[in-house]
Structure 1
C-alpha cells in the first residue's frame, strides 16, 4: 500500500524538530511512505530542518512545495488566532496535497499537522481500521485553565453530544451526553463521529470521489476541516476516530517541553546502545548547526533519564507507557455525571435487567473470594463459575456463599490456567449457555466499591450501550493502591460488563496469557464509561505478590505476552502507593481488629472520658507519650503517619492544602479533618468570624433564618419530643431557635460565646443567652467575664444550667468542636434517661461540595475542623454512647440557582426538574445539611 504523508508547515524550529522526529519513528504497514511538505515557514532554520529531513531519507521526501506569502498568524500562550485568510490559505495547501496524491496514484493520503507528536503505531493502526476517512485522536486544552477536549466532534461546528432528529434537550441532558462522549473516547476503540481533522488518513476511494477542503459557499462554519467533513458526509463517507494511540498536541510551551522529554526517553532506548542514530549522525555532519534535537530552550534543557541498562519490553507497550507518563499528569478524566438525567426526572423506572456473574476460581478460599462473593450477591441474579482444578474447597465456598442464587458451577479436575484463552473460552461458553442478558465478568480477587450495589441496575436499565467500561485499582495493601510508571490500570477504562448479543460475531485474542476476559472485539459494540471503581486484590500481600511473580516467571519468562519491567517491579520494596478513599458506605480493609488495635481503642476511649472539650488556657495539655502515638503516629502534628481522630487509623492522607490550613482525609472511615485540630483554640476562630459583621448578615436575612432554621428545629422537637420540658441549646447564635422554643412552651436556655450575637438576641427577641463556651459546665473568656460582671452590677439575671434536659440541641456546632467524642459524651450525660439530642452539621457528601469541589465554602471555612458524612457521624455517635434514631439531609431551594450555575453539568431547570432534583438529593442524602436525632444507648 502506497501512502503519502503530507503536511503544510509554518512552524517554530523547536516544535518542528519534534514533529519530524516522531514522523521518522512511524512504523509502515507495507511499503515505506513518501513525504510531501508545503514549506510555508518564515524562519530559515525551520526550512533547513525540512531539507535535512529529506537528506536523511533520500528518495522518500518529495521536493518541497513552496507556500505563498505568509498571512499573519497571531499566537500566544493563551490561544491561537486564525484569521479567515489564513484558514483558507491552509485549505489550499491541503488541496494541493490531495491533487498530488491523486495524480501519482497513492492508495492513501495521511494529512498531519506539524504540531503533533505521533505514536509509532499510529499509521499502521489507521490503515488497519480499513476506513476511508479516519483520524487518530488528540486532546487540547484550548484555554490555559480549560478542560482537555478532543479534536473530533459529533455534529455542527463542535457539538460533543448526540441529538436525535427533532429531539429537544435541556442544558443538563446536553451536558450529560457530552460527558458520556468524552468518557467514551478514553476507551481504546474505533468510533464514528461527525467531524475530525489534523491527523487524518484518507483513502483513495474518498479522494477520487472528490472530498477536499475547499470552502462551501452557503455554509458559515469556521475552519477548513468542517467544510471537508460536510463534503465527505455528502459523498456518503462516514467519519471515524481511532483512540488506541492518542497523539500529543504541542499547543503551548509546556506541551513542547513534555514532548522533548517524551522523545528523549524513547530515543534513549534506540540510541544508548549505538551512536549511529540519525540525530547523532546529523549533528556530526552539521557541527555548526544548533542542536534542536533535544531542546531549543537552553535555560530549561531536557535530559534523557538514566537507566542501568536499556529495558527490554515490546516496543508498542514501551512507547504507550512513555506517552502515558508524559501526558497523564496534565490530563484529568472528568468525574462521572451524578445528577439527575432528564429521564430520571420524568420516566418511570425500567424493569430490572437480568445480571449474570461470570467467574473462574483457582485455590481462592484463603484469599478474598468470600468478600468478593458477599459483595456480588447483593445485586446479581445468577452466577456461572468455573472451578479450575481447585484443591482448597473454593468451589464449595462458592456454593455456600451464593446459596439462594441460581449457580452454574463447572468443575475442571485439572487446572488449565497455563492456557488462559482456552479457559476463558470455556467460561464464555458456559456463561452463554445460561441465556444471559448482561454478563459481569469478574475475577475472584476483584470487587466493586460498595455503592455499585445500589446503582448497577439503574445503570443497566438506563443505558443504550452494549459494553460498559470501568477503572480497576491494583490494591497493594488493605488501604492503598499502587500508582507509578508500571502500574496505571486505574487511569484507563476496560470492559467488565457487556450486554450479550446473540447475533454478534465474537472473536478472541488467541494467546496463552493476557488474552482478555472477554472476546477481543466487544469494544466494537456501542460502549460507555462508568465511574464506579473496581478494587483488584490480587497483589495486596507480599505472599501473593511473590507467588504471582513466580507464576509469571514460569509462564512468560521472556515477557512475550506482558511487560518485563512490570513483572520485575512486582517485588519492588518501596513502590509508590496512593490512599484509597471509599465513598463512606464501607470501611476499607474491614477485617477483625488486632490485639494492638483493641488496645489503641481502649486508650482512645479513656482519653475521650477525661479530655475537656475546650482547652482554653492550655493549648498543649499533658498527654502520655503512648497516647500521643495513638493520635499522631511518630510525630505530633505531622501529616505523615497522622492518625484519624475518629477511627484511629493510620491510613490518612492530605485531602487538600489551603492557604492557611490543611485538611486530611481518612481512607478507612472517610472523615475529613484539619491536620492541626489538636492545636487549635476554636474560641479564637469564633471570635474572629462571628463578629458584628456576621450579626449584620444574619439580620439582613432574619426572616429566612427564623423560618428555614428556627422553625425547622422546632418542628423536629414536636416530632420527637412532644412532651416539651427543659431544653438546652449549645451555640444559640442570634437567638431565633431559643425564642421559637420559648414561644412554643419549652423551658429553654441557650449558651452563646459571641458578645455581638447575644446583644442582638436580647435586642431583637428579648432573649437572654448565657455567655461562654460549653465545657462540661460553662467557661468564659476574660472579655466575656468582664462584661458580665458589669451587667450583673446593673441588673440581676436569673439564668442557670440544669444537668437534666428532655432535649439538647446543637445546630451547626459539632463541626467547630476540637474533641467531638468528649463533647458528645458530656452532652449525653446532660440528657434525662429518655432525653433526645438534636444536631445538624454540613454534609461532606453534599451537592454543594460536588458543585464546588475542594473550593466549596464548606471546606474553606477555617472554623470547620471536621467534615462529617452519614457514616462518620454514626460512628462518632457510637463512640460517644449515642445511637441515631433519625438521620437525613436537607437541601433548601434557596441558593439552588447558584449551585446549578457552579456545577459543571447543569444548566437551567424548570420547576418540575428543580423539584425532582431536590427530591433526588434528599433521597440520596446529598443535601447541604446533615440532620440527626439521637438518644443514649
Structure 2
C-alpha cells in the first residue's frame, strides 16, 4: 500500500525537531511511506530541519512545496491565533497535498500537523481499521487551567454530546452525555464521530470522490477541518477515530518539555535493545534522534516486553494529563456512537429444548437474539413444536437445529455430550450454554461483547436465581444457587482435554473441568424460570422421584422442599429500573431475606482463601450472617437506619465494632451508630499523622480530588456564587474554589488540618462540626480550649463565649460540598435535610462516599480498608445513596463511580481472579469498573426535589 504522509509546516525549530523525530520512528504496514511537506516557515532553522530530514531518508522525502513568505505571529505563551485568512491558507496547502496524492496514484494520504508526536504504531493502526477516513486521537489543554479535550467531536462545530433529531436536552443531560463521550474516548477502540482532523488517514476512494478542505460558501463554521467533515458526510463517508495510540499535542510549553522526555525515554529503550542485540557496539545514537532536553529521565533496565506495549506505557506516563477527565459516568456502558470492532469475538448460543413451547422459551430466545451471532440447539424429542418455535424466533440468525426423535430423560450426560459435539461443529469462539428456561437480566445485552473483548479469562461465571414466581426468587437453606458463581460462558480452547462427569442426572452443562482454565466472575445475573409456577414445580418433583428416587445424584431434602407451601422468597430487583417499589407477594409468599456466612464460590471451588465474604451485590444484598451467641444482645432488634426494616444481620464482627447489613435495602452500618460520639472519633483519627500523610500526597490530593470537584462545579454550577464545604480537611478544595472565583467557606474540626490549610494555602477554615441545628456550628472542645476568643471572633465574625456560633447563613448557598463526609454522619437523613434548607432553590449538593459495591471491596472482602475504617459509620451503594437522598428531599442529577488508576496494581494483586495486566488492559478494566459502577468512590450531584 503506497501512502503519502503530508504536512503543512510553519513551526518553531524546537517543536519541529520533535515532530520529525517521531515521524522517523513511524512504522509502515507495507512499503515505506513517502513524505511531502509544505515549507511555510519564517524561521530558517525550521526549513533546515526539513532539509536534514530529507537527507536522512533519501528517496522518501519528496521535493518540498512552498508557501508565500510572510511573517506571522501565530501564538503566545497561552494560545494560538488563527484568523480566517490563515485558516484558508492552510486549507489551500492541504488541498495541494490531496491533488499530489491523486496525481501520483497513492493509495492513501496521511495528513498530520507538525506539532504532534506520534506513536510508532499509529500509521499501521489507522491502515488496519480499513476505514476511508479515520483519525488518531489526541488531547489538548487549550488553556493552562483547562480540561484536556479531543480533536474529534460529535456534531456541529464542536458538540461533545449526541442528540437525536428534535430532542431537547437539559443542561444536566448534556453534561452527562459529554462525560459519556469523553470517557469513551479514553477506552482503546474505534468509534464513529461527527468531526475530526489534524492526524487523519484518507484513502483514495474518498479522495477520488472529491473530499477536500475548501470553504463551503453557505456554512459559517470556523476551521477548514469542519468544512472537510461536512463535505465527507455529504459524499457518504462516515468519520472514525481510533484511540489505541493517542498522539501528544505540543500546544503549551510544558507539552514540549514532556515530549522531549518522552522521546528521550524511547531512545533509551531503543539503545538498550540495540545493545542487547549487539553488546559490543559503542554507546551512541544518531544525532538527529538525541533529545534537546537538558534533563534525561532515569530508567531501570529495559523490561523484556513487546516494543509497542513499552512505547504505549511511556506515552501514558508523559500524557497522563489526557486522563484528567473523570473516568466515570452515569448511564449505559456503550454509546450509540460506538462502532464495534470488525473482528469482535463470535458468540454461540448452545441449548437443549424439550417441550418448552408453552413455557418461557419465547421470552428466552427473544432476549438471546439481541447479542448472539449464531445458535446450536438440540430438540430432544419435543412433541409441542419447540423446535419449530426456535427456528421462527431465531430467523435471520445462523441456526444449527438438531432433532432427537426420542428424549434423553435417563441419559443427561449423553445429551450434554451430543450438545457439546454439535456446538463444536460450528467452530465457536465463545460458547454461551443456557437452558431453555434461563435468561440474563436485560443489561447483559448491552455489556456482553465488551465483557468478552475485555477479559483474559476462558470461563466466565455468573449467579443464577431460582424464580419462584413472576416477581420473587427462592432464598432459603435448600435454594441457594444465587450465592454461588457457576460457568455459563466459556472460550473454546482447542487442545484442552475436556472431561465430563459421567452420571445420568445433574452431570453439568459443560465438561467438568472447565474451571481448570482461567476463570472470572461477572455481576450480570441469570433468572431461572424452571420453578416459577406450582404446576412446573409439581412436574419437576414427579420427574426427580422417577429418575432419582434415592437422591443419588441430588439432595433429598431439597427435593422434599419443592412443594413447601411457605417458602422463603426475596423480591427480584431489576437493576435497570430507576424506581423500585416492593409489590405485595402472592399467596403463600412470605418474604424473608437470606442470611449466609458462605464465601463467594465459583461452582464448588472457593475463589479466595480469606474466609470472609466478597461484596458483589449491587442493590439488595444477601451476604449477612446470623448472630452466633457472641455479642448477640448487642445487635438483636436493630432496625435499618435507612428503610426501617427489621431484617438486619451481622455483616462482620471486627475487633472494636460490628457491621450490620440490611437484607431489605442493602445498607451496611455500624451496630452502635446511635451511641457514637462522632466528634471524639474524628478528633482521634484526623490528627497530625493524617495531615502528614496528606502533605506527602499533596499533588495527587489536589489534582485527583480538589480539581475534580472544581470541574464538577463548572459543569453543574457554572454561575458560581456562595459555596459551603463541610469537612474541608487540609483545605485543597476551598483553595481551588477560591482561585476559580467562588465565594467559598469551609468547616473543619481538626486543628492540625486547619493549621496546615492556613500555612500551605493561606485559607482560613471555620473550626467545628455541622450540627442538626439550623445556622449553627458546634465548636470542638479542642477549639474552645486552644483558641483565644479573639481568634474565634476573627474567624467567625461573631464574638461569643458560647459553644455554638452563627455561620451567617441568612443567605443560602449556591453549592454545598461534602467530600467523604456523609459516611461519618450518625444521622444522615437529618443532616441532609438540614443542608437542604441552606441551599438556593436551584442550588446543588455535591457528595462523594466510598462505594460499597467497589472493586476494592471485591478484592479484599470483609477486610477491605473501606469496611475496616471505624469512622465509616455507613457504607452506601448507588441504590442506598439514592434512597437516602430521596428521604432527605433530594433527587440525584448525576450518580456515578470513580476509580483512580493509582492503586489499581495493588488491587489486581489482591483480587483472586486477576493477575498482571498491561497498560491497555488496565485502561479497559478501569472503563469496565466505571461502566458497571464498581469504582472505589461513589459520586453524586443532587438538587432539592
Report TM bin, short chain. 0.3 to 0.5
